[in-house]
A and B are shown apart, each in its own frame.
Chain A
């Protein structure tokens, strides 16, 4: 499958490289690059982090530029853009604890307060022709995101 990972943390990028070796994988670290990828290419799967720095600054005026490096929840517009492009399987996957950021806490009612293998399939949404999941991450023993677990849920 052709998979796009949108992730700014190196160790989570590496876990994607390790786990998806048998797939065609593309990894981008920020919103602007991700938007370009989604506009220009098609993917079977898009998996995105929630909080990222460095939004697009092509259209930013002076007021907008102030926020250009802030950690913001770019994951949400990116998964919606992926759905607009009819990507078959999409997930937003955050490693931020729901006690540590209000945007992470917003995910609790959408799926659960932590990765829950039993309940995750029932929390999937259908947007356009896409299956979409919004999750707190499952982690490998070394603390890296377990992207495979998310893909398994999407494909069930």
Chain B
């Protein structure tokens, strides 16, 4: 399937997500969050989105995406980098069945990363 990989920064972690997507046999288009718009989903025929979260602003951006796009959105949230998601954001995101959040980089237990990889591998199959 065709994935849109969105990030606020371009660094080694983004490369990891791209590699995981390719390993799962998905086609990838990468976008900076500052230029991505929901119209891009239709324009580039994206089947799903992966948006990496590393800050509270990214949580807000995820809500903006969820409100304006109905394709599945996978959100690997790098918990090591910032505080837990606010209650307000969690309550809003519950409404959006097409958003899936994965807590990753939690060094005590890396279940989130395993779930994320399994989801990528199973997407569209």
Whether chain B is bound by chain A comes out as yes
Asked, given contacts A63-B60, A68-B61, A70-B68, whether A53 binds B86 with beta carbons under 8 Å apart, the answer is no
A residues 61-108 in Cβ contact with B at 8 Å: 61-70
Q: State which of B56, B59, B67 has its C-beta within 8 Å of the C-beta of A69.
A: B67
From A30, A58, A61, A68, contact of B64 by CB (8 A) = A68
Chain B residues touching A, majority SS = helix
Contacts of B60 in A (CB 8 A): 60-66, 68
B101 close to chain A: CB less than 8 A: no
Task: Give the dominant DSSP class at A's interface.
Answer: loop
- Pick the contact of B61 from A30, A53, A65, A70 — CB < 8 Å? A65
CA of A68 to CA of B63 in the docked complex: distance in angstroms? 9
Given the known interface contacts A53-B37, A57-B34, the answer about A65 and B57 at a Cβ–Cβ threshold of 8 Å is yes
Instruction: Indicate if A54 sits at the interface (CB-CB under 8 A).
Output: yes
Chain A, 116-155, contact with B by CB distance < 8 Å: what is the 0/1 string?
A: 0000000000000000000000000000000000000000
Residues of B within 8 A of A (CB): 33-34, 37-39, 55-61, 63-65, 67-69, 86, 89, 92
